[in-house]
Amino acid sequence: MTREGLRIDVVGLTKMFGAFKAVDDLSFSVQPGVVTGFLGPNGAGKTTTLRCLLGLLAPTAGSATIGGHRYRDLPDPIGTVGAALEASSFHPGRTARAHLEVMALGAGIDPRRAGEMLAQVGLTEVADKRVGGYSLGMRQRLGLAAALLGDPPVLILDEPANGLDPAGIAWLREFLRALAREGRTVLISSHVLSEVQRTVDEVVVLARGRLVRQGRLADLDSGPRDVLVRTPEPAKLRDALAAASLTVTEDGSGRLRVGGGTTERVGHAAYVAGVELHELVAEASHLERTFLELTEGDRTP
Amino acid sequence: MSTTSAAPLVRAEFKKISSTRLWWGLLVGAVVFSMIQAAVNAAFAGMDPGAGQPATPGLDTPEAIRSVYAMSMFSGTYIFALILGITGMTGEYRYQTITSTFLVSPRRSRVVVAKMLAHLVMGAFFGVVALAGTVLAGAVVIGVRGADLGFGAERLWPTMGLAVLAVAIWTLVGIGIGTLIRNQIVAILLAVFVTFLIEPILTFALAAIDLDWLVKWLPTNASSALMAPGNTLLDYLDWWVGGLVLLGYGLLLAGLGIALSVRRDVS
Ligand SMILES: Nc1ncnc2c1ncn2[C@@H]1O[C@H](COP(=O)(O)OP(=O)(O)O)[C@@H](O)[C@H]1O
Ligand SMILES: [Mg+2]
């Protein structure tokens, strides 16, 4: 099944709250068929941008459109864009099923679809319980069910991984990737890169309302990785690595940090020199560090 | 407004009301208050209150019968209907469900129109149920007093219908108030304050400065006029003018609300 997504275009978007500029001349676009992460620390302006995109906030300047249309001009809004904003917008005294039925009735969708959506997100057992008793994770799932109600080609989810346990995040990842594979446009925001690191293909990084970086996730992670190695014969290994023209520094925790090579090259050099190794690993991804560097200092105090 | 039917949004509004418990509590309140009011009116009809006051009309008069069955329902119910209307709008902001409401219908004024239609019907439903209560309570007390139950009293049934209509319009006024004032507590307190304090004071003050002709245009007096066709004792508007004036208050508030509040940011 394919569901051809629509492009999202944010052009010169600015949103002021009084004298405070929450979003500052922001431009980016989001393509169908991939999962795009909208990343930035808390307070960066992600939610504000998404609310402008959904017609809930009036932009101070610029525009935010879906398939070239403002949200409010879409002939079939929730059949075009499925959105889940922060997970608190449910009446605590209403059941999950009733919440979805209200939306379905208003949009002219068969209310029986509410049950199907709840099954899809794993809420069937609690479908007729009041939302007031739901955990954050259950609310997130309900928000997702609401977003999917109109079978929309575009999905916009604000911090969907927030409150999910690792199993829930893994489930969400597969779910969103499958939707993107069908051709849909999937935009998800997060302030924790590791939550979405394995979910997103593209990233838009935001700090203090300004665009910091847009591109493929892989490009954000393009820096060289050091190799960490532990041995009972550090002097001998240093010589061997230097001979292989690799740079070596002390790691501080009894390991050597090797720059300019891969685990394969380091292992080979040790093998040739007959040095015994007790540990050999590539350093953890630079991605999280790059993300922090990009957004650090830009963080509002 | 485009030509798209309002029916889906109205259906959604009915579902919103019926899927939480508030309406039920308000209806119980309305029925209980109406029944007490009817019983008291029936018990004291025709009695001399003393202190030189004239006696109220006896149970053998159509006025008394209309008061027991119809007016009691109105005075016991309209404030609950008003609160139903106010919460029908402000509850959306309080629980932030306004977000999904406006995602489903980004044309916000349509939502207000749908709410007015749905709540008009809910208000009429409140009126009919409470009327069953006043008829029951009133008839029991009248029966105990040994008087004729008076179901054939002059203009009783039209008055009942108009009382139901008045309650329905007050529910719509509630939507108007809630549309203008997003904060639920403020909106309810202000509505109660205005109807129970400001209006009576205003009535008194206007009479004192020889502006009596203005008094009949106040909402509560307009709704009294609606229920009292041909009333000659008090200087009321014609019943249908009274109804239109009350409806006008609701529409005016909603219109102001759409212009000043509904278009504002939702965050
Ligand atoms: N309605 C509002 N009024 C005033 N300031 C706001 C409002 N909404 C958000 N802000 C401010 O705008 C900034 C961006 O907020 P937000 O978009 O929620 O960030 P994010 O979703 O990236 O955490 C924050 O500093 C926040 O305090
Ligand atoms: Mg946010």
B104/A85 CB distance under 8 A = no
The DSSP H or E segment spanning B246 is helix B239-257
The DSSP H or E segment spanning A210 is strand A210-216
pLDDT in tens, B219-257: 988 888 888 866 656 678 888 899 999 999 999 999 999
Rounded-to-integer distance, Cα B210 and Cα B213, Å? 8
**Cα–Cα distances in angstroms (integers) from residue A221 to residues A24, A186, A204, A213, in the given order:** 26, 21, 14, 12
How many CB atoms neighbour CB A301 within 10 A? Answer: 3
CB B26 within 8 A of CB B77: no
Q: Is A186 helix (H, G, I), strand (E, B) or coil?
A: strand
Tokens, residue A249: 């520094």
pLDDT in tens, B97-123: 999 999 999 999 999 999 999 999 999
Tell me what pLDDT residue B234 has: 66
Tokens, residue A91: 């009446």
List all residues 6 or more positions away from A132 whose beta carbon is below 8 Å from its beta carbon.
A92, A93
Rounded-to-integer distance, Cα A107 and Cα A151, Å? 12
Tell me what pLDDT residue A297 has: 57
Rounded-to-integer distance, Cα A28 and Cα A64, Å? 10
Residues from A in contact with B at Cβ < 8 Å:
48, 51, 54-58, 71-72, 74, 77-78, 83, 85, 88-95, 98-99, 101-103, 105-108, 146
Q: How high is the ipTM of this complex? A: 0.91
Percentage of residues in chain B with pLDDT exceeding 90?
A: 69
CB B106 within 8 A of CB B7: no
Q: What mean pLDDT, rounded, does chain B reach?
A: 91
Rounded-to-integer distance, Cα A292 and Cα A288, Å? 6
Residue A105, pLDDT > 70, answer yes
How far from each other are the two terminal CA atoms of chain B, in whole angstroms?
25
Q: State how far Cα A181 lies from the chain centre.
A: 16
Nearest Cα of chain A lies from the Cα of B248 at a distance, in angstroms, of 27
Q: For residue B106, give the nearest of A55, A85, A89 by CB distance.
A: A55
Question: Which chain A residues are within 8 Å of B23, Cβ to Cβ?
Answer: none
Tokens, residue B71: 């007016």
How many CB atoms neighbour CB B156 within 10 A? Answer: 17
Residues with Cβ within 6 A of ligand 1?
A 17, 20, 22, 40, 42-48, 300; B 267
Instruction: Locate the chain B residue with the closest alpha carbon to A56.
Output: B266
Tell me what pLDDT residue A223 has: 63
Residue B134, pLDDT > 50, answer yes
pLDDT in tens, A225-238: 788 899 998 889 99
CB B88 within 8 A of CB B175: yes
